[in-house]
Amino acid sequence: MTIAETPHMEPRPEHPAAQAWRVFRTRPAALFGLLLLVVIGVVSIIGPSVYAVDPFEIVWAPLTAPFQTPTAPLGTDYLGRDILAGLIIGGRATLLVGLTAALITVSIGIFIGAFSGYYQGWVDDVFMRITEFFQVLPPLLFAMVLVTLFSPSLVVIALSIGIVSWPATARLARAEFMRIRGLEYVSAGRSIGARNGRLIWRVILPNALAPLIVSATLTIGIAILFEAGLSFLGLSDPNVMSWGLMIGGGRQYILDAWWVVTLPGVMIFMTVLGVSLVGDGLNDAFNPKLRDR
Amino acid sequence: MAVLRVQDLVVDFATRQGNARVLDHISLEIDEGEILGIVGESGCGKSMTALSIMGLVPSPPGNITAGSIKLDEREIAGASSEQMRTIRGNEIGMIFQEPMSSLNPVFTVGEQIAESVRLHEGADSRAAFARAVEMLQAVGIPEPEKRARAYPHELSGGMRQRVMIAIALACNPRVLIADEPTTALDTTVQAQIFDLLEELQKNRGTAIVLITHDMGAVAQLADKIAVMYAGRIVETGAVDDVLSNPRHPYTRGLIACVPHLQVKPTKQRHPLLEIPGVVPSLTELGEGCAFSPRCDRMHSKCLQHQPVLETVPDTGDNSHRVACWVTEARADDV
Amino acid sequence: MSDQIGEREYLSVQELKVHFGGKSLFGSGSIVHAVDGVSFDIAKGTTFGIVGESGSGKTTTALAIMRLTHITSGAVFLDGTNIGALQGEALRQARCAFQIVFQDPYSSLNPRQRAFDIIRDPLDLMDVGKPEERAEMVHALLEQVGLRPEQGALFPHQFSGGQRQRIGLARALATKPDLIVCDEPVSALDVAIQAQILNLMSRLQKELGLTYLFISHDLGVVQHICDEIAVMYLGQIVERADRMTLFSNPMHPYTKALLASVPSLHADRKNRATRQRLKGDPPSPINLPKGCRFASRCPLAQEQCHQMSPPLRELENGHFVSCHLADA
């Protein structure tokens, strides 16, 4: 019996995740997006302790333009509150809502999609009818109803966004589960004694994750925009400073004081841009066709 | 007279691991009405040879570095993509392994054949469709008028490959390149397609380049054979000469490693001959013979010098050539 | 591959039927008769081959025996137990005794698992050996299929097609099965690699006394490796005989046509035109004809062939043919 491998070809073990990172780091746009997110994240987390100004405190005359006073370097809003302080701490609430909503979306989506795609038959029929019910509801209106019914707290807002946006993820997860379930390594798993639970969560899910991670990343961006939209309509938590709240409060003064709305708007734009670039990069990184180039 | 003459063709690919020479001084010649079989394992360069002739080498990363491809004494290796478009279809046709992915699912097969006729001959649409029906009949599809109005998914695999052949033949090409045309088909259907190809070669004088991994297919269909390994031709000649008296250890291995069907099987069964190891990576080829790591007759010279194609002495004509330092005839001088 | 007949009927498949389609919650579809009444026995330590073209039901037969697709009716006895009727935990435990090697070496291994874990999984799941001995067992299995133990650290994409098929074999061998179902195990491999895998399978059979059910469309490979062969057409066995008989004395017109269509290395190319070819394609397994399923393509078909379905008859000792016109 010959050993089937010639010695000079022995490669080092390379985990699929390491392969993905190898592709990701060759994308300048994706790396730029990642840098944006890291900067925004770091500023939101440690910024408030470096620049310790209460964003709700009135520090100067209302509607002062940027660069007029060192007390409020980026100007003040309609109540005379420091805009820079708001921008720094507002990222916390915005990112938190975005992340939580994306997590809820993906959790519901994967759960429904996994059972639908794995068991098929009547399970699939029932779950897909439920998914379609949620899909035909107008998302913004439905979220508004939920937020109005309960108090407009961050938790309720995150939940509402999650509840209206999971169907797309569920459909994606279902398609992936159906595809992978038909592959021979799943049959092989059953043959060597794996039970359904193991096949669903330990065998199929890790292999279905790639497109779901991409979609989850993009969902963060959508959720942040959604939160901003709700805030703009006045449906945000008035006790927690967020970029959306800043835009919502300043919207009447947009013609007189551009900075009140524009500066938090730029922050939201940068965050969503960062998320989208990272999402695109991940999409390429998980594409097997781009790996071996 | 050779319809198609490829001389010292070199194709390089830029990869992450460095330059890969996918074709290394390939020379081929095919006459009118002749069938040339190109055989080898995947990655040996047989499909790349076909793509080079068709002017379809993806560039970048690919590049024809040197050599010439002559169609009727006309150089086509450096032709513009506009010129190649005219040549493809009009003078060279091609059929692929998977007919389903080569057909457009939203048009009927008749429309697709007619489209090809219109593009290359400028016939009006009614004449082109009539021609399409004629072509379907010519490739042995029953009820051609009815089938012309069928969509690709409504046909079986064998039917679809016939349609592909009809499209390739619609403009009477001088050369037909068939890249593993029956690999996706059942044995009985494969036999039908082989019969069809042979009929075309006989009745129309089409020169056919058959690219395959199946020595049996070559034995049955081809007049000439070229065995490729790691981007080079290692043995070539008339099919009968090469198969009855293979000189290169790789050719011998390819013939012996496949269990060929016997009409009267023997009771005793022997293990198959193995070619150990796998095809080397094209970026890691050394100085010597690319096959030497897998060769059971490897000699020190094999590691240092690349063998060149040389005529095998004592054969009928001079067409049988082999690239090996240790063929029996030469075994004494090494 | 030994020609001696061991324990007859180690695997006994009786009137196996697998139908797909039919009613669902929100509609109904037509029924596909993928496997329609298939029976055969395999003696212990021998190789039984099933040949046929696409749509013949050979792979579905394999998957049904493996209990990887549902069984509409019929029984599958393995060493006296009807594994076709087992359910739940009993079925899971019984799987130790029968394993499968798949066709596609790319989709049959989980891309996120190292080779070592792929082979270790069955040991853990089926509780084979003591936990502390299992790493050693995996190394032994890797060596048994011609891989080096340190290669266990690699992921599937780092192996060639032939090596992946070796890993698939090692996984199948892990639970020490007696029956291995091989579903086209070499047809996705390069010709030069096929011989390596076929020789490995023969060697393992000798060493471990394995019984193989070998599914293939390649008659050359089947002739090389199988002791007894069944030819399937549209969900049914049309001819069944031992290796020597089937190839030297084929009786069913379909078997004859199949053998004639294989390109031979030393073909007399001048005489090829006189050979008879099958016309057309098999009918669909949804709307099956009333009579013989092969009649529409059969060069010999007569009136009775279209009217009545021929039974599988034993014409000689151990030579079964399903044709009205065949005579011993």
Query: By percentage, how much of chain C surpasses pLDDT 70?
Result: 91
Any idea which residue has 């300048």 for tokens? Answer: A28
What is d(CA A35, CA A164) in angstroms, rounded to the nearest whole number?
30
Whether A192 sits inside 8 A of C175 (CB atoms) is yes
Query: What six digits make up the tokens of A218?
Result: 């993009």
* pLDDT score of C273 more than 80: no
pLDDT reported for residue A291 = 58
The arithmetic mean of pLDDT across residues C24-41, rounded, is 80
ipTM of this complex prediction, to 2 decimal places: 0.87
Contacts of residue C250, Cβ cutoff 8 Å, sequence gap at least 6: C239, C256, C259
| CA-closest candidate to residue C252, choices C305, C195, C325, C181 | C325
Of A6, A292, A293, the CB nearest to B277: A6
What is d(CA C65, CA C71) in angstroms, rounded to the nearest whole number?
8
Looking at beta carbons, which residues of chain C come within 8 Å of B271?
199, 202-203
Mean pLDDT score of chain A: 85
Looking at beta carbons, which residues of chain B come within 8 Å of A6?
277-278, 280, 293
pTM of the model: 0.86
What is d(CA B324, CA B330) in angstroms, rounded to the nearest whole number?
9
pLDDT reported for residue A2 = 38
pLDDT reported for residue C66 = 96
Looking at beta carbons, which residues of chain A come within 8 Å of B277?
2, 4-6
> If DSSP states are collapsed to H, E and C, what string results for chain B?
CEEEEEEEEEEEEEECCEEEEEEEEEEEEEECCCEEEEECCCCCCHHHHHHHHHCCCCCCCEEEEEEEEEECCEECCCCCHHHHHHHHHHCEEEECCCHHHHCCCCCCHHHHHHHHHHHHHCCCHHHHHHHHHHHHHHCCCCCHHHHHCCCHHHCCHHHHHHHHHHHHHCCCCCEEEEECCCCCCCHHHHHHHHHHHHHHHHHHCCEEEEEECCHHHHHHHCCEEEEEECCEEEEEEEHHHHHHCCCCHHHHHHHHCCCCCCCCCCCCCCCCCCCCCCCCCHHHCCCCCCCHHHCCCCCHHHHHCCCCCEECCCCCCCCCEECCCCCHHHHHHC
Per-residue confidence at B331, pLDDT binned at 50, 70, 90?
A: very low
pLDDT reported for residue A290 = 60
Looking at beta carbons, which residues of chain C come within 8 Å of A10?
151
Q: Give the helix/strand (H/E) hosting C226.
A: none
**Residues B108-141 pLDDT 10s:** 998 988 888 887 777 788 888 888 898 888 888 8
* pLDDT score of C7 more than 60: no
What is d(CA C223, CA C208) in angstroms, rounded to the nearest whole number?
22
Q: Hey, of C24, C95, C121, which one would you mutate to test binding to chain A, going by the most A CBs within 10 A of its CB?
A: C121
**Residue B65 Cα distances to A166, B15, B123, B216, C259, angstroms:** 53, 15, 38, 34, 46
Amino acid, res. B89 = G
pLDDT reported for residue B104 = 87
Enumerate neighbours of C (3 or more CB pairs within 8 A): A, B
Q: What are C81's strand-pairing partners?
A: C78
Query: What six digits make up the tokens of A90?
Result: 């507002």
More confident residue, A249 or B32: B32
What is d(CA C38, CA C44) in angstroms, rounded to the nearest whole number?
19
Mean pLDDT score of chain C: 88
* pLDDT score of B266 more than 60: yes
The arithmetic mean of pLDDT across residues A199-227, rounded, is 88
* pLDDT score of C3 more than 60: no
pLDDT reported for residue C23 = 59
pLDDT reported for residue A106 = 92
User: Are A63 and A78 within 8 A, CB to CB?
Assistant: yes
Per-residue confidence at A1, pLDDT binned at 50, 70, 90?
A: very low
pLDDT reported for residue C175 = 94
pLDDT reported for residue B144 = 86
CB-side exposure of A224: number of CA atoms within 13 Å? 28
Q: What are phi and psi of A79, to 5 degrees?
A: -105, 0
Of A6, A292, A293, the CB nearest to B293: A6
Decide if B221 touches C, using CB distance below 8 A.
yes
* pLDDT score of B332 more than 60: no
**Residues C235-266 pLDDT 10s:** 999 999 999 999 999 999 999 999 988 887 76
The β-bridge relationship of strands C313-316 and C236-242 is unpaired
Contacts of residue C188, Cβ cutoff 8 Å, sequence gap at least 6: C103, C104, C105, C106, C161
The arithmetic mean of pLDDT across residues C56-66, rounded, is 94
Q: What are phi and psi of C237, to 5 degrees?
A: -85, 125
User: Are C111 and C157 within 8 A, CB to CB?
Assistant: yes
pLDDT reported for residue C125 = 95
What is d(CA C151, CA A37) in angstroms, rounded to the nearest whole number?
39
Q: Residue ranges of the domains in chain A?
A: 28-49+87-291
Closest chain C C-alpha to B256 CA, distance in angstroms: 9
Decide if C88 touches B, using CB distance below 8 A.
no
The arithmetic mean of pLDDT across residues B25-53, rounded, is 91
The arithmetic mean of pLDDT across residues B41-61, rounded, is 87
Whether B264 sits inside 8 A of C248 (CB atoms) is yes
pLDDT reported for residue C138 = 96
Decide if C53 touches B, using CB distance below 8 A.
yes
- DSSP letter, residue C204: H
CB-side exposure of C9: number of CA atoms within 13 Å? 9
**Residues A130-188 pLDDT 10s:** 999 988 888 888 888 888 888 788 888 888 888 888 999 999 999 999 999 999 999 99
Count residue pairs from A and B with Cβ separation < 8 A: 18
SS3 label, residue A272: helix
User: Are B276 and A2 within 8 A, CB to CB?
Assistant: yes
Which of A 2-41 lie inside 8 A of B, CB atoms? Answer: 2, 4-6, 8-9
Q: What angle do CA C228, C233, C236 make, to 5 degrees?
A: 75
* pLDDT score of B278 more than 70: yes
Amino acid, res. B156 = S
* pLDDT score of C270 more than 70: no
Fold of the domain spanning A28-49+87-291? MetI-like fold (1.10.3720)
Decide if B296 touches A, using CB distance below 8 A.
no
**Residues B160-209 pLDDT 10s:** 888 888 888 887 888 999 998 888 778 888 888 888 888 888 888 899 99
User: Are B323 and B235 within 8 A, CB to CB?
Assistant: yes
pLDDT reported for residue B101 = 75
Rank A11-15, B70-74, C193-197 by mean pLDDT and report only the highest. Answer: C193-197
Segments of C52-91 assigned E as strands:
73-78, 81-82
* pLDDT score of C269 more than 70: no
The arithmetic mean of pLDDT across residues A203-220, rounded, is 88
Decide if C174 touches A, using CB distance below 8 A.
yes
The arithmetic mean of pLDDT across residues B84-105, rounded, is 82
What is Dmax (Cα atoms) for chain C? 68
Omega cis (within 30) before A66: no
**Residues A11-35 pLDDT 10s:** 677 777 888 888 888 888 999 999 9
Q: What angle do CA A285, A288, A290 make, to 5 degrees?
A: 65
User: Are C280 and C296 within 8 A, CB to CB?
Assistant: yes
Q: What are phi and psi of C66, to 5 degrees?
A: -75, -5
**Residues C196-234 pLDDT 10s:** 999 999 999 999 999 999 999 999 999 999 999 999 999
Query: What six digits make up the tokens of A199?
Result: 């096949």
Per-residue confidence at A5, pLDDT binned at 50, 70, 90?
A: very low
The arithmetic mean of pLDDT across residues A69-84, rounded, is 80
* pLDDT score of C70 more than 80: yes
Least confident window among A47-56, A100-109, B230-239? A47-56
